[in-house]
Structure 1
Amino acid sequence: MGTVYSTASMSLDGYIAYDDDDPGALFDWYQAGGIEMTTAMDDLTFHVTEPSHDYLRDQTLALGAIVVGRRLFDVTDGWKGRHPYDVPVVVMTHEPPADWSYTGAKDFHFVTDGVEAAIRVAQTIAGRREVSVAAGEVATQALEAGLLDEVRIDLAPVVLGSGRPYFTGGSTRVLDEPTTIIQTARVTHLVYPVPRG
């Protein structure tokens, strides 16, 4: 099985969005450079720096599936049936949507029996590739259950003041020293291993 990691752009004070789910300036780094990166969505193209391009390229090439909560799925409207990274999405939810459908929608899986089941489904889909877990409630539950191998943070030089935190509670965890530190325009990419045991 591949690495299971949580990831998000985060403010200096630990938030991934305002309370209304607006990320504010946290995503500015996606348009802070001269290298174009297309996505699976026709209306979404990034313009990043070379270090961010290389970091994102390596991450997306290794990615096999994404696990998200129902809130993120609803906020994005399921990315209109196709995630920007064009990989399968496992949605952890109490109840699958009854009326969500887009022409050409593919590889959306709704799991109703908790984070362990959702990650297990994602790992089965991903095979040897990596599984990304969205920050917030899902990442918190995965960390508490001992299911995360890494915490990845795209740290933006922004203070939101309040909002939705990267982790929403749980017990104290001390992560290992970062294995990746990439500082570039409007972001520092960080990768922290999660110690086992």
Structure 2
Amino acid sequence: MTKVTTGATMSLDGYIADASHGGFEHLFQWYANGDVETPTATPGMTLRTSAASAAHLRALNERTGALVVGRRLFDMTNGWGGRHPMDVPVVVVTHRVPEGWDRESDSFVFVTDGIESAIDRAKALAGDKQIGVNGGTIATQVMQAGLLDEVHIDLVPVLLGDGIPLFADLKIAPVQLEGPTEVVQGNGVTHLAYRVRRTG
């Protein structure tokens, strides 16, 4: 069965962005604070991390077959210039297909009939690999639908003081997680993984 995971870089006080949807200069420092290069599918974008973080990123890339994201993240990144840095198909959950984009291509598939349909489409694209879910709103929807298997956190030693949590307005809290199933210490970041505990 295809595993569905979500992951985010998070401040020590629990935020994936500050209150104005920023703060990334603090959260994402670990992508450029090391000596080991990890190329991406985006021209001119090479990550430079510690060896431990580079190995963590390589393993993540190798096991991920498709992504599910929300329309806001797609718009914020301008569709990643036409191809996601992980070089996998991206299923975009939206109310309407944005102008100038095909409903379905090798890079992006736009799903307008809900999160369950988006996960089903991503499973078909991922084959025997896992699905990554990005963006707090989409992660919350997948968790509430009972479709999320794992939560991965890149924990950064910064306090933002206020901001946007990964699972904002979660209607089924508390949700218990098992683990950590993975702990990787990088430079300026700790990579953590937890399993979502199934109930009932």
Both structures adopt the same fold (TM-score exceeding 0.5): yes
Q: Is it true that 1:196 corresponds to 2:181 in the alignment?
A: no
Distance 1:169 1:190 in 2: 23
Tell me the CA shift for residue 133 of structure 1: 0.2
Number of equivalent positions? 194
Letter matched to residue 28 of structure 2: F
Where 1:6 maps in the other structure, the secondary structure is strand
Where 1:56 maps in the other structure, the secondary structure is helix
Tell me the CA shift for residue 16 of structure 1: 1.0
Distance 2:45 2:107 in 1: 20
TM-score (ref. length: structure 2):
0.93
Where 2:55 maps in the other structure, the secondary structure is helix
Distance 1:142 1:12 in 2: 24
Q: Is it true that 1:186 corresponds to 2:184 in the alignment?
A: no
Percent sequence identity over aligned pairs:
49
Distance 1:168 1:97 in 2: 26
Q: Is it true that 1:73 corresponds to 2:77 in the alignment?
A: no
The aligned counterpart of 1:21 is: 21
Where 1:117 maps in the other structure, the secondary structure is helix
The aligned counterpart of 1:38 is: 39
* Structure 2 alignment gaps of length 5 or more: none
Per-residue CA deviation, residues 84-103 of structure 1 (Å, 9 max, x unaligned), is 010000000111102348xx
The aligned counterpart of 2:132 is: 132
Per-residue CA deviation, residues 6-53 of structure 1 (Å, 9 max, x unaligned), is 001111111111233322310111112100011011121100111111
Tell me the CA shift for residue 106 of structure 1: 3.6
Runs of 4+ in 1 over 4 A off after TM superposition: none
Distance 2:87 2:159 in 1: 31
Where 1:116 maps in the other structure, the secondary structure is helix
The aligned counterpart of 1:115 is: 115
Distance 1:151 1:188 in 2: 14
Where 2:28 maps in the other structure, the secondary structure is helix
Tell me the CA shift for residue 140 of structure 1: 0.5
